[in-house]
Amino acid sequence: MIPEPTLDRPAGVPVHAAPADGGAVPDAPVPDVPAPAGDRSAAVSSVATELGALLMQIRSLRVEEAAAFHAGLQPGAFAVARWIRTDGPASAGAVAAGLLMDKSSVSRHLRVLREAGYVQDEPDPEDRRSTILTLTPLAEERLAQVRMGTRERLQNRLHAWDTDEVEQFAGLLHRFNVSPRDRPADA
């Protein structure tokens, strides 16, 4: 349920939405539409709503991170660089599979990253006919700067939370992220 508009919140914007400028919302109010105690369906619906809001914020963050890494860089290209940093060195096919991207999209992103001096091809030590992708020192440096900026924003976002709340939030997110995706409803 979306509340009535106010002077600082236009119609259609939930109470818990982050401001358009990306700034932190100090002690932002949480929607006060509690589900009746024990109403699992309503609780799961609330989780879905909040996940949707979180995903939109993450998408916005990825756009900003890509721009901080290199002005005008598409978020998909930034995702490729991040994947190589985290899971590489690897072939272009492995990057595409790891990111669930089309190989042609990955190829376009790699071309941009190579031209900007962020990715290089090296001979695959196990198959000299193939190449693997690695990041350049410049890319590593830029990714480190982006990570620091993102952590700083997260620190600011969670500034009013005590350590126990942050740990509980991290634990619940971890539990959600590692739980089976397609578990039957009656299991």
For position 10, what pLDDT does the model report?
A: 40
Quote the domain boundaries for residue 133: 49-158
Burial category of 108 from C-beta neighbours within 10 Å (exposed 0-12, middle 13-18, buried 19 and up): middle
Give yes or no for residue 66 having a pLDDT over 60: yes
Mean pLDDT of the chain: 84
Q: Is residue 73 part of a domain?
A: yes
**Across 17-27, average pLDDT:** 46
Q: 139-172: per-residue pLDDT in tens?
A: 999 999 999 999 999 999 999 999 999 999 999 9
**Across residues 175-181, what is the average pLDDT?**
87
Tens of pLDDT, residues 88-137: 899 999 999 999 999 999 999 999 999 999 999 998 888 888 899 999 99
Position 33 scores a pLDDT of 56
Per-residue confidence band for 25, with pLDDT thresholds at 50, 70 and 90? very low
* Residue 4 within a domain: no
CATH number for the domain harbouring residue 94: 1.10.10.10
Q: Is the pLDDT of residue 26 over 90?
A: no
Model confidence at 35, pLDDT cuts 50, 70, 90, reads low
Name the residue with higher pLDDT: 59 or 23. Answer: 59
**pLDDT reported for residue 4:** 44
Number of domains forming the structure of the chain:
1
Is residue 37 in some structural domain?
Answer: no
Q: Which residues contact 90 (CB under 8 A, 6 or more apart)?
A: 84, 98, 132, 133
**In a domain? residue 122:** yes
Q: Is the pLDDT of residue 24 over 60?
A: no
Whether residue 150 is contained in a domain is answered as yes
CA 87 vs CA 60, 94, 135, 153, 160: distances in Å = 23, 9, 11, 24, 34
Residue 171 lies in a domain: no
In a domain, 25, yes or no: no
